[in-house]
Amino acid sequence: MNTVSNINKNTKTQVKALNPPQKWLITSGVLVSLVLFIYLAITQDVVQPILLIIGLLLGYTLFHSRFGFTSAFRRLMSVGNGEAIRAHMVMLGTATLLFAPILAFGVSFFGAEVKGYVSPVGVSLIVGAFIFGIGMQLGNGCASGTLFNIGAGRSVMFITLIFFIIGTTIGAAHLPFWTEDLPSMGTFSLATSTDLGYGGALIVSLLIFGLIAFISKVVERKKDAPKAATVPSTHGWKRVFRGSWPMMVAAVVLAVLNALTLMVRGEPWGITSAFALWGSKIAEILGFDVASWGYWQGEAATALQASIFADTTTILNICVILGAFIASAAGGLFKFTKMTKGNFMASVIGGLVMGYGARLAFGCNIGAYFGGIASFSLHGYIWGIVAIGGTFLALYLRPLFGLSVPKSNDSVC
């Protein structure tokens, strides 16, 4: 009871201490977004400026809710706190409810072929997801976390991003070995690889999410897990623009935005394919024969030759950063942070490992875990389980770089 009282008292103090809006930064962010919108509207397909808006909303939501995948896995494995995991289940449940009819009937705003993220289950997935789980704990952020933390000015995340791009580019070069020379059972969809159909797969998925949420609650009570730390906020309608959002609200918003992305561009939200594109274009400039890589054969070759502004994932990534930047400035929270030798080295290693793992595992926390599970793909579930295993190992590695690990005797984690 005292712990709850202290948390409430701390929350009230934080509300009073909320910084004033950084108006000139907000104006700058809006102007950059507007210029980019006009440029895309003039030079690119109609889909691109629409994705710009969706990307801004994704970044805005991620920052305001501090919606975490890295921290969710870390708190679950270290002290048994399952608050964020239950938010994940709400997000996944909402997404599957929306994805089922979209995928079943091919609902598309602009006539694109609609397809979910259904990827093979094999050695590549298991190795990739495991090392991604390690990498995101060392890099202190997953793919989406890296982007929205850059938008908030967290300096070390720029290092994570640079090495994330390097890692995923190397992974793209090596991918044929992992996918063609090593064992794989191929793709498996709860909806199309069984007799369930999308309706049955939806029911099974919702039951799985409910069971996971229930188990997380039981574990939390058994371990008497500390609550997650609160962040500065305000009240009423102002909370939309300043302060923290409830994670459950953000979970629903993220699911809706992912469904909109699916209907606009024909596939769910993803992040790391753009990193492979950026890195490969740079490698090509440096003299590497990128076009000969197996990863860039077939339809992918077109993306390699086209402008990055024609790439839908690139637009989403840029605008997630911009959306988070505007949100952080609205809360008066944008500030470049200091780096230590420890978190610098952890970000280098974490970024490389995440990037390589994301390519092997056909995506990250967004493309493989969120998008895969929402698309009823078995690989999404396996990604989540194996990445949690990587997280468990990383709990023993984080202190080597001066990074904290939640303790069971903490009042908040």
Residue 412 banded pLDDT, cuts 50, 70, 90: low
pTM above 0.85, yes or no: yes
Q: Is 263:114 a contact under the CB 8 Å cutoff?
A: yes
Q: Per-residue pLDDT averaged across 350-356, rounded? A: 97
pLDDT at 227 > cutoff 90? no
Query: Residue 17 — very low, low, confident or very high, per pLDDT cuts 50/70/90?
Result: low
Handedness of CA 339, 277, 168, 76 (dihedral sign): positive
Helix-helix angle 143-151:312-330, to 10 degrees: 50
DSSP 8-state assignment for residue 336: P
In which band, very low, low, confident or very high, does the pLDDT at 15 lie, cut at 50, 70 and 90? Answer: very low
Could you give the CA distance from residue 16 to residue 229 in angstroms, rounded to a whole number? 17
pLDDT at 47 over 50: yes
Instruction: Quote the pLDDT of residue 315.
Output: 98
What is the percent of the chain where pLDDT is above 70? 93
pLDDT at position 43: 97
Residue among 206, 160, 67 at smallest CA distance from 352: 160
User: For helices 156-180 and 272-285, what crossing angle results, to 10°?
Assistant: 90
pLDDT value at 312 more than 90: yes
pLDDT tens digits, 318-339: 999 999 999 999 989 999 999 9
* Band of pLDDT at residue 413, cut at 50, 70 and 90: low
Neighbour tally for 342: CB within 10 Å: 15
d(CA 122, CA 109): 34
Q: How far apart are CA 157 and CA 151, in angstroms?
A: 10
More confidently predicted of 374 and 236: 374
Sequence-distant (6+) residues with CB within 8 A of 27 are none
- pLDDT higher than 80, residue 389: yes
184-199 tens-digit pLDDT: 999 999 999 999 999 9
198, 191 Cβ separation under 8 angstroms: yes
Residue whose structure tokens are 């793919």: 143
Sign of CA dihedral 77, 82, 84, 90: positive
Confidence of residue 231 (pLDDT cuts 50, 70, 90): low
Query: What is the pLDDT at residue 306?
Result: 94
Q: Taking residues 131-142, what's their average pLDDT?
A: 95
The mean-pLDDT minimum among 12-26, 31-45, 187-201, 381-395 falls in 12-26
Q: Give pLDDT, residue 170.
A: 98
Once rounded to an integer, what is the mean pLDDT over residues 23-27?
Answer: 96
Q: Please say if the pLDDT value at position 10 is more than 60.
A: no
With contact defined as beta carbons under 8 Å apart, do 53 and 41 qualify? no
Pick the most confident of 160-169, 242-251, 395-404: 160-169
Domain coordinates in residue numbering, the chain: 2-401
For residue 9, is pLDDT > 50? no
Report residue 82: phi and psi, to 5°: -115, 15
Q: Averaged over 146-165, what is the pLDDT?
A: 96
Average pLDDT, the chain: 92
> Token pair of 320, please?
């997630």
Nearest to 148 by CA among 342, 405, 314, 334: 334
**Listed residue (320, 256, 254, 311) closest to 280, CA to CA:** 311
363 within 8 A of 384, measured Cβ to Cβ: no
Largest CA distance in the chain: 63
pLDDT of residue 5: 36
* Selected residue with higher pLDDT from 243 and 58: 58
